[in-house]
């Protein structure tokens, strides 16, 4: 697999992987933060189980 | 329609997606694993592009998903305007970030393919330009949502803007037919069938399916977060209001000095 353009190929896959990872990590961290806030509100007595948006 | 309206209950949506998400994540990982194996160890080099053709296996699915995300946003916008469905608003809002990310990947990988193949990272070609406009549309819609509160009016404005922007999708699709472009014409979804050899078409389709499963998984996760975010905002407001009421009542009960 010798090709003079492997740098471009590696960069393309690297940028794609990095973008997807950043998105995923951002979503997961946001989920964790929101779960924490909901738990805190529940603890403070504000936590009626709201089922509407 | 009954099943759709039952999903209006966020609790049902959260319960259902909790069950679906592991399957979508697993399917995406499996398809990507198989796809990458086929791309790097099985599919041949192109007779003109050489190994650079491997960029196509991520560029093409990213381009499809960039447009698919906008179609999801358009459907959700109709849900907002016609049925005033709150989950449709959450779906519309959260798809914008994902669409912007896939459009970004499409533009960057296209540039990285263009430099060795065309001799330039960018040309103001109809396909490339209409794709750049899609990226700017996504950024505009994200900015619009950030400047507005989670009000029904804000949701309707964003939905109308999304519908207006939909005009770019057929332009992207048919730009290679309507204008003389440097970008190659459609080679998979075209009348007369694909023009790609099966040894390259299969890895491409598997990568595209993996990317679609990933998009759906991330979109469901983002909608779940949006539901939680709105719930936190509502409870915080209720808690603050209760605190103020308590404070005011306390002041009234204070004996006059």
Q: In angstroms, rounded to a whole number, what is the distance separating the alpha carbons of residues B107 and B14? A: 34
Q: In angstroms, rounded to a whole number, what is the distance separating the alpha carbons of residues B44 and B50? A: 9
CB contact, 8 Å: A5 with chain B? yes
Residues of chain B positioned with their CB less than 8 A from the CB of A41 = 232, 235-236, 239
In the predicted model, what is the mean pLDDT of chain B?
A: 89
Q: Which residue has tokens 């896939």?
A: B102
Q: Where does the pLDDT of residue B68 fall: very low under 50, low under 70, confident under 90, or very high at 90 and above?
A: very high
- Cβ atoms of B202 and A7 closer than 8 Å: no
Among A14, A15, A27, A33, pick the best mutation site for testing chain B contact (most B Cβ within 10 A).
A27
What is the nearest CA distance from A47 to chain B, expressed in angstroms?
Answer: 7
Q: How far is CA B242 from CA A36, B44, B149, B202, in A?
A: 21, 67, 22, 60
Q: Which of B109, B106, B78 is nearest to B91 (CA)?
A: B78
pLDDT tens per residue across span B217-234: 999 999 999 999 999 998
Query: CB-side exposure of B232: number of CA atoms within 13 Å?
Result: 17
Q: Where does the pLDDT of residue B256 fall: very low under 50, low under 70, confident under 90, or very high at 90 and above?
A: very low
Q: For residue B11, what is the nearest residue in chain A, using CA coordinates?
A: A51
Residues of chain B positioned with their CB less than 8 A from the CB of A1 = 51
pLDDT reported for residue B257: 39
pLDDT tens per residue across span B111-155: 999 999 999 999 999 999 999 999 999 999 999 998 887 788 888
pLDDT tens per residue across span B163-193: 999 999 999 999 998 988 888 887 777 777 7
- Cβ atoms of B58 and B32 closer than 8 Å: no
* pLDDT (average), residues B224-250: 80
Query: B116–A51: do the CB atoms touch at under 8 Å?
Result: no
* pLDDT (average), residues B86-98: 93
* pLDDT (average), residues B94-104: 97
Backbone angles phi, psi at B54, to 5 degrees: -65, -25
- Cβ atoms of B69 and B95 closer than 8 Å: yes
Residues of chain A positioned with their CB less than 8 A from the CB of B97 = 23
Q: In angstroms, rounded to a whole number, what is the distance separating the alpha carbons of residues B41 and A9? A: 15
Among B50, B113, B221, the residue with its CB nearest the CB of A31 is B221
> Which pair of structure tokens corresponds to residue B254?
């204070």
Q: Where does the pLDDT of residue B78 fall: very low under 50, low under 70, confident under 90, or very high at 90 and above?
A: very high
pLDDT tens per residue across span A3-52: 688 999 999 999 999 999 999 999 999 999 999 999 998 887 765 544 45
């Amino acid at each position: 697999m010798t090709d003079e353009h492997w740098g471009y190929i590696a960069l393309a896959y690297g940028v794609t992987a990095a973008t997807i990872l950043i998105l995923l990590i951002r979503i997961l961290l946001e989920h964790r933060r929101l779960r924490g806030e909901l738990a805190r509100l529940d603890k403070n007595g504000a936590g009626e189980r709201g089922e509407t948006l | 329609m009954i099943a759709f309206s039952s999903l209006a209950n966020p609790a049902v949506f959260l319960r259902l997606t909790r069950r679906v998400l592991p399957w979508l994540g697993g399917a995406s990982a499996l398809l990507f694993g198989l796809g990458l194996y086929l791309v790097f160890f099985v599919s041949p080099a192109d007779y003109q592009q050489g190994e650079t053709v491997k960029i196509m296996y991520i560029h093409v699915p990213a381009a499809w998903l960039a447009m698919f995300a906008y179609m999801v946003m358009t459907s959700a916008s109709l849900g907002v305007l016609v049925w005033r469905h709150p989950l449709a608003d959450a779906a519309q809002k959260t798809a914008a970030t994902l669409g912007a990310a896939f459009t970004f990947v499409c533009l960057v990988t296209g540039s990285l393919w263009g430099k060795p193949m065309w001799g330039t990272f960018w040309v103001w070609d109809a396909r490339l330009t209409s794709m750049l406009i899609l990226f700017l549309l996504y950024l505009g819609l994200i900015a619009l949502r950030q400047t507005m509160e989670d009000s029904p009016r804000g949701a309707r404005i964003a939905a109308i803007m999304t519908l207006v922007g939909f005009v770019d999708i057929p332009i992207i699709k048919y730009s290679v037919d309507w204008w003389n472009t440097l970008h190659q014409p459609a080679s998979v979804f075209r009348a007369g069938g694909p023009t790609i050899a099966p040894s390259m078409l299969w890895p491409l389709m598997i990568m595209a399916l993996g990317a679609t499963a990933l998009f759906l998984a991330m979109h469901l996760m983002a909608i779940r977060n949006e539901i939680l975010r709105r719930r936190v905002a509502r409870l915080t407001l209720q808690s603050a209001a209760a605190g103020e009421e308590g404070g005011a009542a306390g002041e009234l009960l204070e004996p006059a000095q």
